C-alpha cells in the first residue's frame, strides 16, 4: 500500500513539471514545432510535412481547447498515440496535405473557482499556416 501511495505521489510531482521543448527529431516525420510564441505569425510548410503544436496554459486561464485547423483540405490533424502532455500543456500534430493557407486556432477561458461568478471572456491563440507544393 505504501508503495502504491508513493507511486501516486511521484506521478503528481511529475505532472506539475513544465514540458521540456521537443526537437523536430523527437517524433518520426515531424519537421517542425509551433509554440505559444508563434501566435499571430504566418508559418510556411510544404505538402507532406508534419509539425507539432505545443501550447502552455497561462496563469489564471484554462488549458487551451479546440486546437483545430480551419481548412482540413489543406491541413489534417494526425493522431499520435505516443504523445502525452503534462498538466497544462496542449499537444496536437498536423500534416500539410495540399497547397493553400489555413489558420489553426485554440481557445482558453478564465479559470474560475466552482460556485463563483466567472466573466464570459475567451482568449484565442491563432497561427496561419501557408502550405506550398
Low-confidence ranges of the chain (pLDDT < 50): 1-26
pLDDT recorded at residue 25: 40
**Which residues, at least 6 apart from 23, have a Cβ–Cβ distance to it below 8 Å?**
33
pLDDT recorded at residue 84: 64
Domains of the chain, residue spans:
29-132
pLDDT recorded at residue 10: 37
The pTM assigned to this predicted structure is 0.72
Q: Give 23-62 as a 3 state SS string.
A: CHHHCCCEEEEEEHHHCCCEEEEECCCEEEEEEECCCCEC
CATH C-level class of 29-132: mainly beta
Amino acid at each position: 500500500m505504501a508503495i502504491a501511495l508513493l507511486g501516486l505521489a511521484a506521478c503528481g510531482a511529475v505532472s506539475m513539471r513544465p514540458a521540456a521543448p521537443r526537437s523536430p527529431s523527437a517524433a518520426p516525420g515531424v519537421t517542425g514545432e509551433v509554440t505559444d510564441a508563434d501566435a499571430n505569425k504566418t508559418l510556411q510548410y510544404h505538402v507532406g510535412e508534419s509539425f507539432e503544436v505545443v501550447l502552455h496554459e497561462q496563469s489564471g486561464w484554462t488549458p487551451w481547447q479546440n486546437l483545430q485547423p480551419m481548412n482540413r483540405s489543406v491541413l489534417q490533424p494526425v493522431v499520435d498515440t505516443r504523445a502525452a502532455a503534462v498538466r497544462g500543456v496542449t499537444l496536437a500534430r498536423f500534416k500539410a496535405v495540399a497547397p493553400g493557407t489555413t489558420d489553426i486556432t485554440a481557445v482558453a477561458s478564465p479559470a474560475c473557482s466552482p460556485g463563483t461568478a466567472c466573466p464570459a471572456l475567451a482568449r484565442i491563440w491563432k497561427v496561419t499556416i501557408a502550405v506550398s507544393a
